Amino acid sequence: MQTHFSLAQLANPDIAATNDILRTCVHCGFCTATCPTYVLLGDELDSPRGRIYLMKQMFEADAPATEEVVTHIDRCLSCLSCMTTCPSGVHYQHLVDHGRKHIEETYTRPLFERLLRGVLAFTIPYPTRFRAVLAVAMLARALRGLFRGRMRAMLDLVPADLGPPSHVDKPQVFRAERARVGRVALLNGCAQTVLAPQINEATVRLLTRLGVEVVVAKGVGCCGSLVHHMGKTDESHAQAIANIDAWLAEADGKGLDAIVINTSGCGTQIKDYGFMFRDHPLYAEKASRVSALAKDVSEYLSTLAPEISVFDEAASLRVTYHSACSMQHGQQIRTEPKALLAAAGFAVSEPGEGHLCCGSAGTYNIMQPELASQLRDRKAANIARTTPDVVATGNIGCMTQLADAVGVPVVHTVELLDWATGGPKPRKLG
């Protein structure tokens, strides 16, 4: 694609990076076939190629974002399926992130939307705040039939009950239960610690059982992805810096073999820290080190795969594996989770249209509830055709999105692997 940026514009590192991405695009349109919003809407401007043209025109003109641009960029899930499909290697992730930053800086949204985005950014990345808000929302959940649109979407996602905070989500070290074969830091996360604390508990049990020492480092918080995808880059960078400092203190102290992440959306973000800080005078090298250490839990467990053996109770359990977009497209991890489950003896299948998003996508199911519901129902129908006993996935957002739609329990992959290696049966299977 030909671009027309001035030398002055190209002096801006963000514009320079965007220019390189745009010039990679060859207009082929392969991305349209795998874009969820184009599949649903059939509008060229709701395809990656259409959004690329909109952003190109906006950036070349150095113009504020228009309502048209905002509408179509907001409809993008950042599922990154287009990046898997693209034969030219267009890095759409970095392009749309820049577009969202520009929108945040140049466009004034309606008051309700500004308030809603502000509340989400203020609460979800902070477990104590998020827990308090959910406790109040649980009281209103019974009245959700009175609401429509985004308010109804939020209340539909509120869990029926909340367990207490988990003991594993405090800074500490979990010793290996046998001769140590590795030492890792665990991202305990933000929303996940409130919505599904059993995931971190299962991860710690599984890793320590396999001889891995697990550190929950002091000072680690949200990965920054939620606010980053809202274009709030100052906030996302501040959250990332806190994590980088905390993890490198551990790495430079007693050493780390990996930073293990059991939420694939967070993993995609952390693996991108190197790019986020590429021009930062103090954190460019530090961020790259953290990105290099980041591993999805299935990615890391695959190095210990010989320790996973056939589990007797697994033979009668049909597991449909739902690959989160951030796993298969963001991190390009496809075989490891399925191979681990199969090694434990589970009968593993995948749904049709596995490349299409379930509609969760961070806060997308709140901000774009109609499209998210259509994608959820489409995903649920494809899962139903596999007649599963349980659905396994590696992302809390997908678990929440699919929980009430598929008619069977939805659990994290590590919960099944923990059970298979001597841990408790997942509560949802009880």
The rounded distance, in Å, linking the Cα atoms of 39 and 248 is 43
pLDDT score, position 143: 77
Mean pLDDT of 166-195: 95
**pTM to 2 decimal places:** 0.94
Average pLDDT, the chain: 94
pLDDT at 66 over 80: yes
**Residue 306: band (very low, low, confident or very high) from pLDDT cuts 50, 70, 90:** low
Encode pLDDT of 141-160 as tens digits: 777 777 778 888 888 888 88
Task: Check the CA dihedral 407-299-357-75 and report its sign.
Answer: positive
Encode pLDDT of 188-236 as tens digits: 999 999 999 999 999 999 999 999 999 999 999 999 999 999 999 999 9
Encode pLDDT of 359-399 as tens digits: 999 999 999 999 999 999 999 999 999 999 999 999 999 99
**Residue 310: band (very low, low, confident or very high) from pLDDT cuts 50, 70, 90:** confident
Mean pLDDT of 40-67: 96
**Residue 173: band (very low, low, confident or very high) from pLDDT cuts 50, 70, 90:** very high
**Residue 305: band (very low, low, confident or very high) from pLDDT cuts 50, 70, 90:** low
The rounded distance, in Å, linking the Cα atoms of 407 and 392 is 13
Burial class (CB in 10 A: 0-12, 13-18, 19+), 256: buried
Q: What is the token pair recorded at 266? A: 């967070």
**Residue 128: band (very low, low, confident or very high) from pLDDT cuts 50, 70, 90:** very high
pLDDT at 163 over 90: no
Encode pLDDT of 113-125 as tens digits: 999 999 999 999 9
The rounded distance, in Å, linking the Cα atoms of 57 and 305 is 49
Rounded to whole angstroms, the maximal C-alpha distance in the chain is: 66
